[in-house]
């Protein structure tokens, strides 16, 4: 393996470390937006971010050391190839290129296929000053040898095999992702360090209090009892095998793949919270039917109030009052599309009179998007299915108390494995992202969902 190959590997490792550090920073920012966060949780996430930061510094220093070594090797090679001229010789030796005496920057006998030249072109584009210097020296050598040819007015089209294409790697377009808006909005807990089941005790038989029938008579008594709520710890994982050629000869390939795996992990976890069989929100929520052949926002809104009334009735004194309405983006924009002359009879905090709620104009995945007329915050989440109902064209609106939707996550999730030996026989590099999580919306059976033909694919007609 050449020194140039080691430098390429070091650059790839630095890109990966930078991507990991950015992931940790994003997780820290998201955690700090949680009103229920603890100092210990913040300290743990800051420590993880700082560890990733230290890894970036280590990778950066390793790359700089290799680049200094390469520059010194090139300097020694140039010195060894020079012929010292006589003192009275003119013009000065360092003011003219002496082809045949000075060693060429890129020599066919040492790099027959031009790999070093191609690497320097890519590196120069990404800001490598040493590569830019070598390319500039190469162009000066070309002017000495073929200056007359370089002055001709031939365009790049005449040299399609010699003009190297440039890739704007910093502007690569990642695949879109639905992200995890709902997962970020609900109550988050650190996952216990051991075990594959999380158990919660629920009191299902209460004590009792009643009037004493007479003085010195026995007072009422009822033995309390609880029922265990077991919550399975699940494992979400994804992998990607890259060719070693892609890792070592590509520009930032590994960091691009890792970033995409992280995005798929987030979207998968959020989708499971909403749609997973048996325990997903759609399967534990009590349905509030909205059946309408010509649905309107004005007709839908009372169903929202009915659902919220059901949430509070199920929780009573355990209700936190921090309710959420979770809906697909198409439903949120359809509700904004509504026009009308009827307004709620009771004003609400934070809602301007004679409006049907408020839109906060936040971007997708950036927390609360707006509020409904009664002040309920709206979370927009495109992991909500849009193929429900008999016509496979309905979505649903979920109404929950955010503090009774629980998500346990490993503080370090998602974690990353990079394995070279497993695929060594085919020159492959295996990348695996995985994490453990558990969730429940059923500590109290409180969630409601609005479902029915009134939630078919919306038409935007302003009604």
**pLDDT single digits (tens) 8-38:** 888 888 888 888 888 888 888 877 777 777 8
Is 449:79 a contact under the CB 8 Å cutoff?
no
CA angle, 325 then 329 then 331, to 5° = 70
Per-residue pLDDT, 88: 46
Q: Which two tokens stand for residue 191?
A: 């996952």
User: 420: how many CB neighbours lie within 10 A of its CB?
Assistant: 12
Find the mean pLDDT for residues 371-384. Answer: 93
Q: What percent of the chain has pLDDT over 70?
A: 83
Cα–Cα distance for residue pair 11/384, rounded to 1 Å = 40
Asked if pLDDT for residue 133 goes beyond 70, the answer is yes
Q: What number is the average pLDDT over the span 209-237? A: 93
Using 50, 70 and 90 to split pLDDT, how confident is the model at 87?
very low
Please give the model's pTM, rounded to 2 decimal places: 0.64
Average pLDDT across the chain, whole number = 84
Topology of the domain comprising 177-463:
Major capsid protein gp5 fold (3.30.2400)
| Predicted confidence (pLDDT) at residue 313 exceeds the cutoff of 50 | yes
Q: What per-residue confidence (pLDDT) applies to 125?
A: 63
Question: Of the ranges 157-166, 332-341, 449-458, which one carries the lowest mean pLDDT score?
Answer: 157-166
| Cα 411-417-420 angle, rounded to 5 deg | 170
Residue 126: pLDDT over 80: no
Residue 429: Cβ within 10 Å count? 23
Range list for CATH 3.30.2400.10 in the chain:
177-463
d(CA 390, CA 159): 61
Q: Looking at residue 341, what is its pLDDT? A: 66
pLDDT at 89: 47
CA distances from 266 to 22, 178, 402, 413 (A): 15, 8, 19, 10
| Angle at the Cα of 182 from the Cα atoms of 390 and 407, rounded to 5 degrees | 110
Write out the two tokens for 333: 């924009």
**Res 411: pLDDT:** 86
Residue 84 pLDDT more than 50? no
Lowest-confidence region among 62-71, 256-265, 269-278, 348-357: 348-357
- Rounded CA gap, 369 and 185, in Å? 11
Sequence-distant (6+) residues with CB within 8 A of 148 are none
296 vs 424, residue with greater confidence = 296
Q: Is the pLDDT of residue 81 over 50?
A: yes
Question: What pLDDT shows up at residue 187?
Answer: 95
Summarised one tens digit per residue, pLDDT across range 136-160 is 888 887 777 766 555 555 555 654 5
Least confident of 174-183, 202-211, 333-342, 381-390: 333-342
Least confident of 87-96, 207-216, 407-416: 87-96
- Measuring CA to CA, which residue among 64, 24, 14 is closest to residue 44? 24
């Amino acid at each position: 393996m050449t020194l140039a190959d080691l430098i390429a590997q070091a650059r790839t490792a630095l890109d990966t470390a930078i991507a990991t550090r950015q992931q940790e920073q994003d997780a820290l920012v998201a955690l700090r937006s949680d009103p229920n966060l603890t100092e210990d949780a913040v300290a743990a996430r800051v420590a993880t971010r700082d560890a990733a930061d230290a890894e970036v510094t280590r990778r950066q220093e390793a790359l700089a050391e290799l680049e200094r070594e390469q520059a010194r090797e090139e300097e020694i090679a140039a010195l060894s190839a020079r012929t010292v001229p006589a003192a009275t010789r003119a013009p000065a030796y360092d003011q003219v290129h002496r082809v045949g005496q000075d060693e060429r920057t890129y020599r066919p006998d040492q790099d027959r296929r031009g790999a070093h030249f191609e690497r320097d072109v890519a590196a120069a584009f990404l800001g490598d000053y040493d590569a830019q210097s070598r390319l500039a020296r190469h162009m000066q050598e070309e002017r000495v040898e073929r200056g007359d040819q370089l002055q001709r007015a031939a365009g790049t089209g005449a040299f399609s095999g010699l003009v190297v294409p440039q890739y704007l790697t910093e502007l690569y377009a990642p695949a879109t992702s639905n992200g995890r808006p709902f997962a970020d909005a609900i109550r988050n807990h650190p996952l216990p360090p051991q075990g594959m089941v999380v158990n919660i005790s629920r009191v299902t038989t209460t004590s009792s209090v009643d009037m004493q029938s007479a003085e010195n008579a026995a007072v009422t008594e009822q033995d309390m009892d609880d029922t265990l709520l077991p919550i399975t710890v699940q494992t979400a994982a994804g992998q990607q095998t890259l060719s070693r050629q892609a890792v070592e000869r590509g520009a930032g390939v590994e960091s691009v793949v890792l970033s995409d795996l992280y995005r798929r992990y987030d979207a998968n976890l959020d989708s499971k919270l909403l749609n997973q069989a048996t325990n997903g929100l759609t399967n534990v929520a009590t349905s509030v039917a909205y059946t309408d052949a010509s649905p309107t926002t004005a007709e839908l809104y009372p169903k929202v109030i009915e659902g919220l009334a059901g949430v509070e009735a199920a929780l009573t004194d355990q209700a936190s009052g921090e309710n959420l309405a979770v809906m697909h983006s198409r439903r949120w924009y359809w509700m904004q599309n509504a026009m009308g002359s009827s307004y709620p009879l009771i004003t609400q905090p934070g809602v301007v009179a004679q409006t049907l709620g408020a839109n906060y104009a936040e971007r997708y995945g950036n927390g609360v998007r707006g509020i409904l007329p009664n002040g309920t915050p709206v979370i927009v989440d495109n992991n909500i299915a849009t193929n429900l109902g008999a016509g496979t064209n309905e979505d649903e609106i979920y109404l929950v108390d955010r503090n009774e939707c629980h998500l346990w996550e490993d503080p370090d999730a998602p974690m990353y494995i990079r394995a070279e030996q497993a695929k060594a026989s085919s020159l492959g590099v295996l990348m695996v992202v995985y994490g453990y999580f558990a969730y429940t919306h059923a500590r109290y059976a409180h969630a409601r969902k609005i479902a029915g033909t009134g939630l078919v694919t919306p038409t935007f007609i302003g009604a």
